[in-house]
Amino acid sequence: MSDDALFLFLTTSIIYFKEEEEDRSDKEEVIKDKTSINIMTQKQQTTISLQVKNLSYAYPMEPSEIIKDFTLELPKGSRCLLSGANGAGKSTLLQILAGKTMVAEDKVRVLGRPPFHDFNLSCSGELSYLGSQWRRNVGSAGGDVPLAGDFPARQMIFGVENVDPERRERLIKLLDIDLDWSMMALSDGQRRRVQICLGLLKPYEVLLCDEITVDLDILGRLDLLKFFEEECEERGATIIYATHIFDGMHDWMTHLAFISNGELKYGQGGRKEDIEEIKGIDHLLSTIEDWLRVDRDETKARKLLEGPKKRVDPYAHFGSRQMSYYGC
**Distance between CA 1 and CA 142 in Å, rounded?**
98
The dihedral through the CA atoms of 125, 228, 261, 55 has a sign that is negative
Which residues is 50 bridged to in the sheet?
Answer: 74, 110
| pLDDT given for residue 215 in this prediction | 79
Q: Report pLDDT digits (tens) over 309-320.
A: 666 665 555 555
Which residues is 256 bridged to in the sheet?
Answer: 81
Q: Report pLDDT digits (tens) over 239-251.
A: 999 999 888 888 8
CATH 3.40.50.300 corresponds to the domain 55-133+204-306: yes
Phi, psi of 152 (to 5 degrees): -80, 160
Q: Report pLDDT digits (tens) over 256-280.
A: 999 988 888 887 788 888 888 888 7
**Distance between CA 20 and CA 77 in Å, rounded?**
50
- DSSP character for 164? -
**DSSP-H helix ranges across the chain:** 3-47, 90-97, 120-123, 153-157, 165-174, 188-200, 218-235, 249-252, 284-306
Contacting residues for 272 by C-beta, under 8 A, at least 6 apart: 250, 253, 254, 255, 256, 278
| Segments in the chain below pLDDT 50 | 6-10, 15, 17, 27-43, 138-139, 141, 324-325, 327-328
Domain range summary for the chain, segments of one domain joined by +: 55-133+204-306
Contacting residues for 99 by C-beta, under 8 A, at least 6 apart: 110, 114, 115, 116, 117, 118, 119, 121, 122, 127
**Distance between CA 295 and CA 291 in Å, rounded?**
6
> Is the distance from CB of 126 to CB of 111 less than 8 angstroms?
yes
| R_g of the chain computed on alpha carbons | 27
| pLDDT given for residue 321 in this prediction | 54
- Coil vs helix vs strand at 58: coil
Q: Is the pTM above the cut of 0.85?
A: no
Contacting residues for 11 by C-beta, under 8 A, at least 6 apart: none
| pLDDT given for residue 274 in this prediction | 87
